A and B are shown apart, each in its own frame.
Chain A
Amino acid sequence: MPEITLIEAIRQALDEELARDDRVLVIGEDVGKRGGVFRATQGLYEKYGALRVFDSPLAEASIVGVGVGAALYGLRPVCEIQFADFIYPAFNQLISEVARMCYRTNGEWTVPMVIRAPYGGGVGGGLYHSQSVEAFFTHVPGLKVVIPSNPYDAKGLLKSAVRDPNPVLFFEPKKGYRLIRGEVPPGDYTVPIGPAQVSREGHDLSLFAYGMMHHYALEAAVQAAAEGISVEVVDLRTLLPVDRETILASVRKTGKALIVHEDTLTGGYGAEIAAIIASEAFTDLDAPVRRLCGPDVPAVPFSPSMQEWFMLNPERILREIRSLAAY
């Protein structure tokens, strides 16, 4: 099987879905001739034309709002927000319209659409090209929130997202776009939205992560194994709806939980995981639930030294693993 990058997997998924279903269209800034600033839509404009790979005005609320209209009309829009940091102008559309449409019409209207956005730091992007925004949306019933961590899942989950009858926010770890490689079969397959995946089995503690941090978590788990610590790594993949069963099964097995995310700590997604574990697996716990997250500052600072201070990495995760394993 060919080994490809994360961004190539996403491009493949978009290409195949555009070819498979003529209702699918891509809307976003620079997605056309430029092929996207991260090249996620490279070659698609030439293949499918300007109407189906649509260069939008520089207006994020519009990208999502027009996407809603297109979905209401029966199309399957895939909207690209160039950086997750720029999703806030579309927040009103996402919360007031996208998330509530099915509920507020008692199912008369639904908005099957995907909103893709590269997220995450460690790329020298400063405050406004580095953010993790998932927690704003995992709080919102009606949305689905997906974050892949590897090329195989990225392609399969994105295809599922395009085919899902509900709106799906699809956040892509942009630091991993070209860094993370993996085997991806050519052609059609899907990965279901919903189930988390135990990506590495272990028995000393459970580590829950997603996106770029899952990539780091696996690295840290391998190093921990060399020290005799057996870490079970769970790739959450779909944050909303959350896969409680997989999370609880893992904690029941190991008795210890470490949640890692790049987003800041307070009110972050990890709090929900911690709450689920605390309320439903209390008598299986052998240690306090730990969270290793970004520091509570507004966003990732630009200077390399401060960015380094902000970002998690495999070494930091390993230190936390050691500490929790020793508890």
Chain B
Amino acid sequence: MEVTAEIKREMFWTMLLARRLDERAWMLHRQGKITFHVSGIGHEAAQVGAAFAIRRGYDWVVPYYRDLALMLALGYTPLDFFLGLMGRRGEPGSGARQMPNHWSMRSMNVVSLSSPVSTQTLHAVGIAMGIKMRKEDKVVLTTVGEGGTSQGEWYEAVNWAAIHRLPVVFNVQNNQYAISEPVSLQMAVNSVAEKARGLGLPGVSVDGMDAFACLTAFQKAVEDARAGHGPVLIETCVYRITPHSSDDDDRTYRSREEVEAHKKDDGLLRTRNTLEREGVLTPQAVDAMEERARQIIDEAAAQAEATPYPPGEEGAFPVYAEEVRHA
């Protein structure tokens, strides 16, 4: 698939919007307007690379909580995001029952996730079972952090998919830290991709700060999976520029110098430089995008803030399918 200038601009726009939304969330937290935020800053390039490789709305996505850029690419809106952050009425994924970033978007085949890590990886495999049973050519993209690969359920899921050659792309966004624990405390191997060898599927490691390298790697994996060649494991090497969450203090376990060094290699910056070099973007165009993002974010945040909380008694349902009330 040719990557047109239009697609490149759209990828950059998605990354930019995700970054500015994420930054706004931190500000809202420091202002005391929200109680919790878990960040995806530093992951945007890798997520956008993955998102633009699948057939969005046709393929299935089983995400994890840092996937803001991926979700925006799938049609999640800034208003959705703020409603979730603030727990307001009409939050689309859970009716404000879930914490922020616990997405669910059925219209785009995005499945709901919980907070225990890697439980969702098995769901991706189950969905792929259904695809195989119905002889469809859909692909499932599922994501997790490198810490999540320490879970038994992650191994079980990859193992099952490998045995049965199921159409799943397992993406591990290796941001070097599981809260405070570095990769060296999660695994003895040098890269997550190496784990694939023991499980019997191809493992690829790609520079997660390079959106287009990610796009190419995911396109290949999705193509293979769609063609029936089985699952692929893609490790996208990123860096978590922010603390784990709004409650974390990363100064207790890593140096400022380390963080600053990675900021210089940030995916958003790199993509901008690349596209300006290629003449796809001009500084003026980037400024215009920044202005547009600011406007969208201001409006969405204000609208969310003006939205009331859901009535407390709505917490009583729906425990069972019979209690589901459709708006």
Contact = CB atoms under 8 A, between A and B. Distances in A.
A61 B152 contact: yes
Contacts of A102: 318-321, 324
Contacts of A112: 321
Nearest to A107: B324
A69 B157 CA distance: 11
Contacts of B24: none
A72 B127 contact: yes
Q: Is the interface of A mostly helix, strand, loop or mixed?
A: mixed
Contacts of B132: 51
Interface stretch (A5-13, A92-100, A147-155, A310-318): A92-100
With most chain B CB atoms within 10 A of its CB, the pick from A104, A144, A166 is: A104
A61 B320 CA distance: 22
Q: Is the interface of B mostly helix, strand, loop or mixed?
A: helix
A72 B123 CA distance: 8
Interface in A57-114: 57, 59, 61-62, 64-75, 77, 89, 92-93, 96-97, 100-110, 112
Contacts of A71: 126
B30 to A, nearest CB: 28
A96 B116 contact: yes
B102 interface: yes
Contacts of B93: 105-106, 108
A18 B125 CA distance: 21
Contact of A109 (B111, B115, B122, B320): B111
A219 B81 CA distance: 61
B29 interface: no
A67 B125 CA distance: 9
B122 A66 contact: yes
Contacts of A74: 130
Contact of B156 (A65, A108, A165): A65
Contact of B319 (A64, A69, A97, A142): A142
A57 B152 contact: no
Nearest to B96: A106
A165 B322 contact: yes
B127 A69 contact: yes
A246 interface: no
B235 to A, nearest CB: 22
A190 interface: no
B322 A67 contact: no
A52 interface: yes
A108 to B, nearest CB: 5
B9 interface: no
A109 B112 contact: yes
A197 interface: no
A106 B119 contact: no
Contact of B130 (A73, A89, A109, A166): A73
5 smallest A-B Cβ distances: which pairs? Answer: A69-B126, A65-B122, A107-B324, A73-B130, A106-B95
Given A144-B320, A165-B322, 11 more contacts: A25-B133, A61-B122, A61-B152, A62-B157, A65-B157, A66-B123, A75-B129, A102-B319, A106-B93, A108-B112, A109-B111
16 contacts: A57-B159, A61-B122, A61-B153, A66-B126, A66-B129, A72-B123, A75-B133, A93-B122, A97-B114, A102-B320, A104-B97, A105-B94, A105-B106, A106-B93, A109-B106, A141-B319
